[in-house]
Amino acid sequence: MTTAKTACILCSRNCGLEIDFVDGHLKKIRGDAAHPSSKGYLCNKAARLDYYQNHADRLTHPLKRQPDGSFVRVTWDEALGDIARRLDAIRDTHGGYAFAFVGGGGQGNHLGGAYSRQLLSAMKSRFVYSSLAQEKTGDFWVNGRLFGAQNCHPMEDVEHADYVLFIGANPYQSHGIVNARDTLREIKNNPGRTMVVIDPRRTETADQADIHLQLRPGTDAFLLLAMLSIIVRENLHDQAFIDAHCTGFDQVRAELHRVPVADYATRADVPLADVERVARGFATAKRGCVRVDLGTQQTLHTTLNAYLEKLLYLVTGNFGQSGSNNLHTAFLPLIGNTDETKVKPGKSLKRTAFHKMAPIGGMYPPNILPDEILKAGEKRIRAVFCDSSNPVLTYPDSTAQEQAFKSLELMVVVDIAMTETARLAHYVLPAASQFEKLEATGFTLEFPENYFHLRHPIAQPMGEALREPEIYTRLLETMGVIPRQFPVLTTIARNEPDLTGHLGYMTALGLTLSRNKRWAPYGASIMYRTLGKALRDAAAAPLLPIAMAYAKEHAVAVRRAGHKGSLLTLGANLFRAIIREESGTVISRHEHSEMWSLLKTPDQRVHLHVPEMIEAIHALSREVPAADRFPFILMAGERRSYNANQIFRDPAWRKVDKHGALRMHPDDANALSLANGDIARCTTKRGMLEVTVEIDDALRRGVVTLPHGYGVSFQSSKPIGPPINRLTSTSHCEPFSRTPFHKYVPAAICKPNAI
């Protein structure tokens, strides 16, 4: 038995863990009290992690699909040799439009991204399709306009707030905030603090709240505008804050004055007195913050919702202080900045061939992927590399995604398991699990103290599985884009005394890359093969320049976190600490007043006036509620106690809710003569599923929910629980960001024999 430190890989909190590893199994799983953020906290799901590590769908060898759909085992050399030849041919014949990278890191594994993204350069492509672009890109776009860059990302300091608004977020189940259940309990038990939940369902979080506004689904924009209007009409905005830190308030205020408050409260179906109470309460609280999630991001008016939610905390001055919303630093960069107004003269954003869609935050949305594969003619995507994602189950319209993937000239899946998506691939490449390699995430989302957790392997890869750094480096070498050896760099890395902070190596690398510009995009793999030889784990090598850049940009805060060194050595010392500290490292400690330096607007002010959003406010005022032939609104993808994206495959991991039930209000169930446990049919414009009914008086009438994370065909079985994206469609999305309206899917429910 060994006991090792690592982290949970099931959600963006990545709580620190201490695990007893016995005979290949993750046995006793405890919270790690030394972890800088979770401090020993865990939720119910972490105890089940052995079901991720050990299950019958784990991959142990590279596989090649045969014409009859079966797979045969091949060697790594055969697989990578053939993949490299086919990629070269596709690029040389059709150019950069022909290749897309799909996925690239789930809830726990972003280090591999430093390596996998190099393949885009090798394929002359910029097309990264990511799940983040089916939830957060509307939000990133707004951040670009308000704060000057799409990767200026605000988070909320719920732990220290007196007044918290949860809008379309259920942190009791989904977490996403520091030690969610403890934090919620503390607010609940403190009479001086107020928690408001805005959600069509009385969620587990709403059960802890002081106030629950059970709005009609898809009406957040109306409700938020009504709240903002009340705030400016009653002069509850923070004029001193606005004068000091913002521009454009006058135009915004003029718009807000025009909002028909009572009408909009009615549209949202929330009593006006409640809207007023929350607007006033939030605006006058000493320290308030707003947390949103998929309930505003995967529903109608996605991008406008993001703008209004941010206006709420900005006009009330709840920004840049303890207990408010704050920008934070980023260590591993997750989000890019592709704001069309920031493109350098002579350059343009790479638009997709069919939808002419520009990237947001550097990513393209899953909703357009099938069309870009099937309908883009000569410029269509012909080859896809899919890594750490299971788009057949998780992207909108499983049937369309399958059809598109089946038409590809080359599809390669890198995963730890045989998934629904992998079954469609020409090659399936087995990756080491997250407990079998050095790993980390870019979920470094805290302020004023931010931390980074580099996890070391606690087990050996299974069979012939390889770690992603090795897979992608070998592929690039096989494609001939980088040589297999760099003798000079290897020698310098080996011989340089550790104390110099790899300065000699970094200088030599800089010279090599400036003399051989064609190698510049492949720095991660070059460092892995050369500097890696001098490190405890080669995969850490690209973190050195990242740590150096971070230390340069935030030198004062890095030193305040206890790291020492001169301008030249601080970064290398930070890098060393990151490798050494097995529970995670505090990388920076800011003062709240320093948050303003993280803004990227030239005047370091927040630009409140966003013309496109003002236009969206006008469009909203003209919107007439649509009559639909479907009587229900289905929320396709609820977070519950036993789902965790598509990370687990073995259904035995679940203690409850084995069927992934359809929740429905008792009155609706009565009207359809449905009882708990009955089978019902759920039909949408796109598909039909048979589901198990669970009666739930926490819902609004006319709203039903299905969970995310089910529908797995474990060991090629029939889908277990609802594969919800059979019900969703690629065109049911926000026209602007193309994020799907998963929380607002018109549906009909009936008894199976009723049709």
Ligand X SMILES: Nc1nc2c(c(=O)[nH]1)N[C@H]1C(S)=C(S)[C@@H](COP(=O)(O)OP(=O)(O)OC[C@H]3O[C@@H](n4cnc5c(=O)[nH]c(N)nc54)[C@H](O)[C@@H]3O)O[C@H]1N2
CB of 197 to ligand X, least distance (A): 8
Asked if 469 interacts with ligand X (CB under 6 A), we say: no
The count of chain residues that interact with ligand X, using the rule CB under 6 A, is: 61
What distances in angstroms separate CA 216 from CA 169, 222, 229, 716, 741, one per listed residue?
15, 10, 19, 39, 15
Distance CA 387, CA 25 (A): 25
- Cβ neighbourhood burial of 349 (10 Å; 0-12, 13-18, 19+): middle
590, interface contact from ligand SF4, ligand X, none, CB < 5-8 Å by kind: none
Asked if 643 touches ligand X (CB under 6 A), the answer is: yes
476 binds, among ligand SF4, ligand X, none (CB under 5 to 8 A by kind): none
- CA gap 577, 64 in Å, rounded: 42
Query: Given the complex with ligand X, which of 390 and 441 has the nearer CB atom?
Result: 390
CB nearer to ligand SF4: pick between 17 and 290:
17
The residues with which 99 forms a beta bridge, in sequence order, are 383
Work out whether 7 is an interface residue with ligand X (CB under 6 A).
no
Buried b (16+ CB within 10 A) or exposed e, 668-695: bbeebebeeebebbbbbbbbebebbbbb
| Spatial distance between the Cα atoms of 643 and 640, rounded to a whole number of angstroms | 6
Picked from ligand X, ligand SF4, none, the partner binding residue 725 (CB below 5 to 8 A depending on kind) is ligand X
Nearer to ligand SF4, 35 or 437 (CB): 35
User: Angle between the 503-515 and 543-553 helix axes, to the nearest 10 degrees?
Assistant: 100
Structural tokens at position 402: 């399958």
Q: Interface mask (CB under 6 A) for ligand X, residues 104-143, using x and -?
A: --xx-x---------------------x--xx--------
Q: Which is nearer to ligand SF4, 175 or 640 (CB)?
A: 175
Tell me which stretch binds ligand X (CB under 6 A): 198-206, 599-607, 658-666, 687-695: 198-206
What residue 173 binds from ligand SF4, ligand X, none (CB within 5 to 8 A, per partner kind)?
Answer: ligand X
Using CB under 6 A as the binding rule, whether residue 174 contacts ligand X is answered as: yes
Summarize as ranges the residues that interact with ligand SF4 (CB under 6 A).
8, 10-11, 13-15, 42-43, 45-46, 175
748 DSSP β-pair partners: 683
Residue 318 found at the interface with ligand X (CB under 6 A): no
Among ligand X, ligand SF4, none, the one that 446 touches (CB under a kind-dependent 5 to 8 A) is none
Residue 527 tokens, joined:
């460092």
Q: Which partner in ligand SF4, ligand X, none is near 743 (CB below 5 to 8 A by kind)?
A: ligand X
* CB-nearer residue toward ligand X: 238 or 638: 638
Q: Is 388 in the site for ligand X (CB under 6 A)?
A: yes
| Residue 535 and residue 544 in contact, taking contact as beta carbons nearer than 8 Å | no
CB nearer to ligand SF4: give 648 or 741: 648
Name which position in 8, 11, 535, 574 contacts ligand X (CB under 6 A). 11
The entry of ligand SF4, ligand X, none near residue 198 (CB within 5 to 8 angstroms by kind) is ligand X
H-helix segments, 561-641: 570-580, 611-621
Measured CA to CA in angstroms, residue 94 lies from 44, 359, 734 at distances of 49, 21, 31
573 binds ligand X (CB under 6 A): no
- Region of 445 on the Ramachandran plot (φ > 0 left; ψ -120 to 50 alpha; else beta): alpha
Site string for ligand X, 704-723 (x = CB under 6 A): ----xx--------------
Cα(211)–Cα(565) distance, rounded to whole angstroms?
50
Q: How far apart are CA 426 and CA 202, in angstroms?
A: 45
Between 282 and 311, how does the x/- string for binding to ligand X read (CB under 6 A)? -----------xxxx--x------------
Cis peptide leading into residue 448 (ω within 30°): yes
- Residue 13 interacts, among ligand SF4, ligand X, none and using kind-specific CB cut-offs from 5 to 8 Å, with ligand SF4
Amino acid at residue number 491? T
Residue 19: phi and psi, rounded to 5, are -125, 135
Nearest approach, Cβ of 49 to ligand SF4 (angstroms)?
8
* Residue 80 exposure: Cα atoms within 13 Å on the Cβ side: 19
Interface pick for ligand X out of 151, 434, 588, 739 (rule CB under 6 A): 434
Q: What angle do CA 7, 135, 193 make, to 5 degrees?
A: 70
Q: Which is nearer to ligand SF4, 31 or 532 (CB)?
A: 31
**Among the listed residues 571, 640, 618, 606, the one whose alpha carbon sits nearest the alpha carbon of residue 10:** 640
Is-contact 27 21, C-beta < 8 A? yes
Compose the 221-260 pattern: x for residues touching ligand X by CB under 6 A, - for all others.
Answer: ----------------------------------------
Find the shortest distance in angstroms from Cβ 450 to ligand SF4.
Answer: 17
Q: Strand 703-707 vs strand 745-750: parallel, antiparallel, or unpaired? A: unpaired
- Cβ contact 574:558 at 8 Å: yes
378/152 Cα distance (integer angstroms): 37
- The helix/strand count (H/E) of the chain reads as 26, 26
Give the one entry of ligand X, ligand SF4, none that residue 61 binds, where binding means its C-beta sits below a cut-off of 5 to 8 angstroms depending on kind. none
Least separation in angstroms between residue 217's CB and ligand X is 4
Task: Specify the residue, 196 or 509, whose C-beta has the smaller distance to ligand X.
Answer: 196
173 binds ligand X (CB under 6 A): yes
Which residue is it, tokens 């606005």?
Answer: 242
Nearest-approach distance from CB 34 to ligand SF4, in angstroms: 15
Which residues bind to ligand X, rule: CB under 6 A? Answer: 11, 103, 106-107, 109, 131, 134-135, 167-170, 173-176, 198-201, 203, 217-218, 220, 293-296, 299, 387-391, 394, 414-417, 419, 431, 433-434, 635-640, 643-647, 708-709, 724-725, 728, 742-743
